[in-house]
Amino acid sequence: MAAPRQGIRIVLADRLEPLRVATTPTNANRPNEPTTIFAATPVDNITNVALAQDYASLTHSPDELIIRQRGRRKPLLKWTPEKAAAAAANNVRSPFQRTPTKMPMSTSMIMRSSPRKRLAMGTLPPEPKAYDGTSPIKPDATQELWPSSRNLKKPKLQELERPIAQTSDEIPLHTLLQGLTQQQLIELIINELVAGDTKVEKDLRAQLPMPDIQYMEQELLRAKRMIFKSLPTSRLCKKTDSTAFTRASLHLNEFKRLLSQHIKQLQDSSHWDALIDYTCMAWPCVRATPNWDSFTHNAVRKQCFRTLTCSCIAAIKYGGSRLGVNRLHRLERSLNSWLNDSEDIQSCMNVLKRMLGKGRYSF
């Protein structure tokens, strides 16, 4: 039994030998003090070695190193309520304290010639002399009333540029008149040519032509072509159904707008004979527009017929005998052919027959 125990002790001694640490303080700086040797137990040595390894393995993060290098922080705010109250108490102005002036009285700065500043600068106008009974002497033109002021001349106004139509003789007159609006032409004739002269007005009235409705007819025909151009071209699609109406509705509204605009222009100018001719021209154009399958889709067509009928009645009433017998008979024949298109045309026929039956041409 003695031999195995001896072997175990030798093995333990070899393993615990590195852990035995003898603590022997140095006496280099303290030679007079006695040397004390402390023997550490194996358990204490193991604990000290573990703590030393943990402390050596501890590494700080980069943020922690930066924070440690900053040092002690300074306060950011310099303003405090206590400091503000103390400053306000020190800055209280006494009621007898004089307000500081903006500019000292003795200065070399040039001031504007206002009364108050002239008083400050000491530049006053000459005092008026007492009246001695003699006539006053006219002051010299070169003498200045205010020494600091200068006589500034007002710039002359530049001559307004005249339009090219008045200065150029190379451009024909009819070309220049085409650029003017209708209102400009009216003002030019009334204010410049006629100018209240009854004789000139009578001569000009005798030369006035009948309004030309050819350009109005061209606009209506162009709008009608756009209506048919918008319809579907396929043989499998119907051209009077709801789909076709949706595609042509925009052009139908444009056609109605042009018709109303032309009639209003002729009515406002009181050209009743031209209005009768326009009605006879525009009725076939409205009749040629598509007749849709749905009753509601034909509302634009009916409104155009009603507008032409009302304009025809107004022309007969206000035109009267000035329309001419031949024009009225042509209108009567046209009304008979329009009965199938609109029911409102019957009222226009009654007005025309009543006037022709009584043997007079005006109401």
pTM above 0.85, yes or no: no
CATH architecture of the domain formed by 213-360: Up-down Bundle (1.20)
Per-residue pLDDT tens listing for the chain (363 residues): 556 666 677 766 666 665 555 444 444 444 455 544 444 444 455 555 555 555 555 666 778 777 777 766 665 556 677 777 777 767 655 555 565 555 555 555 555 556 666 666 655 555 655 555 555 555 554 555 555 545 555 444 444 578 887 887 888 888 888 888 888 888 888 888 888 888 888 888 888 888 889 999 999 999 999 999 999 888 888 889 999 999 999 999 999 999 999 999 999 999 999 999 999 999 999 999 999 999 899 999 999 999 999 999 999 988 877 888 888 888 989 998 898 888 888 999 988 888 777 655 444
How remote is the C-alpha of 58 from its chain's centroid? 69
Q: Where are the domains of the chain?
A: 178-208, 213-360
Q: Which residue has the tokens 């193991």?
A: 46
Please tell me the distance from the alpha carbon of residue 319 to that of residue 272, in angstroms, as a whole number.
5
